[in-house]
Structure 1
Amino acid sequence: MRTVIFDLDGTLADTSGDLLEAANHCFRHMGHGDVLVHGQDAGIALRGGRMMLSHGLNRVGEYDEQTVLSYYPMLLEAYSKAIDTHTQFYPGALQAVEYLKTSGYGVGICTNKPEALADQLLSQMGVRDQFASLVGADTLPVRKPDPEPLREAARRAGGHPDLCVLIGDSDTDRNTARAAGVPSVLVTFGPSGDDMAALEPEALLHHFDDLPDLVADLIGAAA
C-alpha cells in the first residue's frame, strides 16, 4: 500500500495557541508574566516546548539550559490540561485525509510531539480513528529528522516505507523525507509558509484541496 504520512503541529492543525499558553504558564511561574505572544510567536511554538522556553528566556535575558530542562515537565503538564482550547485543523485537512483513505491510501502521522500528547489531542478532537498510525517523538529511540519514525509510520499504516510521502511544515520534515529517500510536500499556510520554497521540497501545498493530485503525481495512484 502507498501511504501519506502527516506531521501534526503546523501541518494538519494550528496548535500554536495552546502551546504558547503552556509556555507562558511556565514564564508566569518564573515571575516573568506572559513572555510569548499569540500569533506573533506561532512559528516558535510549532518548533516545540524546549524551543519556546529557550526563546522566551532569551527574550527576558535569562537563558539557562538547566532552567529549560527543569521547566519542560511543567510545560508538558500545563499543555496536557488545556490541549485543545485554541487548536484548530487547517481548512480542508480532515476532508483531504478522508478522501485519501477512500482512494486507497494508508494515512498516518509522524510527529515530534510526544506520542501520548499527540494521541490525547487527536482523541479529544475526535479524529484519532482517522489515522492508521501515530509515531511520536518518543515512540522509537530516534525522532525526526532520523528517517526511521517516518518509515515506521508508513509500516504501521499498512504500507511500504519506500512508497510514502511526508506532508510537513519545516526543514525537519524536509530532511526526514530526504533521509528516507521519499518525497516531501511542505505546506505554505503555516507561520513559516514563506520559507518553505527555499527548502526545495518535491511540492508545495497551498490548500488541502490540492493534496490528492499532488500525492498521485509524487507516489502514484493507490492500488
Structure 2
Amino acid sequence: MTYPRAILFDLDGTLIHSAPDLHAAANVMLGAMGRDTLDLATIISFIGNGVEALVERCLTATGDYDSRRDQPALGMFLDAYAADMTTLTRPYPGVVAALEDFRTAGVSLGICTNKPAEPAREICNLLGLSRYFEVIDGAMPGHPKKPDPQPLLRCCDLLGVSPLDVLYVGDSAIDYQTARNAGIRFRLYSEGYLNDALPELPGVDRFSNWAAHGIAIS
C-alpha cells in the first residue's frame, strides 16, 4: 500500500467527536447570558468556521447578536470549554490504529483546524494524539481561517513538503473548499459534521470507516 508523503487532517468531526463537549460549553455560556439552551444537532450545524462563528450563531439562534454588547460571550465559552474539554470527546473508532499505520509507513502527519491553536494542542495532548503529529496548527488572532488556503499552505511549509505531495482529510464543505483553494488533494470522512452536500466529490474520495479509510493513493 502506498500512502501520500504527508497527510494533514482537520480535527473536530474528522479525528475526534468533540461536539458533545462543545455543546456543553455553549449551553454554559448561553445559561450565563440568560439565553435558552440549544440541542446537540443545532450545535453540530454551527461547527466548522471557528469558535467566534460558533458563539455568534448560538446567540443569533437564541435571540440576537451584537458584537460589542456580546463580546464577553467568547471568553465565557472558552473558559467553559477549557474546564471540560474531554469529558465526552473521544477519537472516532479506528483513528488511532490508522495513525499508527501512517506513522509506521513513514508518512508525515499534521493537523490543520479552525479550532483555536491552544485548545487544539491541549485536546490532542489529553487524548494522547499529539505523538502522531509533527504539526498541530490551529486558528490564531489576526490570521485567516479555512476556507482561506493559507492555514493549509502554512502546514505544508511547517512539514517541509510541497502541496502536491499532501492529502487533506476533513469532514466538511469548508475543508473541501480549503483543499481546493490550496490545490491539495482531499478525502472526506463522511461521518463527521458535514452540513453541506458535496455532490461534486467522487465516491472514491469519501470514506465512512476509519478502519477501512482507503487513503492509499495507489
Q: Which runs of 4+ in 1 moved over 4 A?
A: none
Q: For residues 178-212 of structure 1, what are the alpha-carbon distances to aligned partners after superposition, in whole Å with 9 as ceiling and x for unaligned?
A: 1111111111111427x44325267111111233x
* In 1: Cα distance, 2:10 partner to 2:143 partner: 18
2:20 aligned residue: 17
Contact 2:121 2:130 in 1 (8 A): yes
Contact 1:147 1:176 in 2 (8 A): yes
Task: Return the offset for 1:69.
Answer: 3.3
Q: For residues 99-141 of structure 1, what are the alpha-carbon distances to aligned partners after superposition, in whole Å with 9 as ceiling and x for unaligned?
A: 1111121111000111111011011112211111111111883
In structure 2, list runs of 5 or more residues that go unmatched.
none
* In 1: Cα distance, 2:71 partner to 2:141 partner: 20
| 2:61 aligned partner, one-letter code | R
Task: Return the offset for 1:46.
Answer: 4.7
The count of corresponding residues between Structure 1 and Structure 2 is 214
Counting only pairs closer than 5 Å after superposition, residues 1-223 of structure 1 correspond to structure 2 as 2-33=5-36, 35-39=37-41, 41-138=43-140, 141-192=143-194, 195-198=196-199, 200=201, 203-211=205-213, 213-217=214-218
In structure 1, list runs of 5 or more residues that go unmatched.
218-223
Higher relative contact order (CA 8 A, sep 6+): 2
Specify the SS of the correspondent of 1:120: helix
* In 1: Cα distance, 2:22 partner to 2:49 partner: 10
Q: For residues 65-124 of structure 1, what are the alpha-carbon distances to aligned partners after superposition, in whole Å with 9 as ceiling and x for unaligned?
A: 334433112211211111111101111111111111111211110001111110110111
Q: For residues 136-164 of structure 1, what are the alpha-carbon distances to aligned partners after superposition, in whole Å with 9 as ceiling and x for unaligned?
A: 11188332222222122233234323210
Contact 1:22 1:79 in 2 (8 A): yes
Contact 2:148 2:178 in 1 (8 A): yes
Alignment RMSD, CA only? 2.3
Contact 1:135 1:153 in 2 (8 A): yes
| 2:188 aligned partner, one-letter code | L
| 2:79 aligned partner, one-letter code | E
Contact 2:172 2:188 in 1 (8 A): yes
Structure 1 length normalisation: TM-score? 0.85
Residues 177 and 139 of structure 1, relative CA distance in 2, 3 Å threshold: farther
* In 2: Cα distance, 1:70 partner to 1:118 partner: 21
Structure 2 length normalisation: TM-score? 0.87
Residues 107 and 146 of structure 1, relative CA distance in 2, 3 Å threshold: same
Contact 1:140 1:149 in 2 (8 A): no
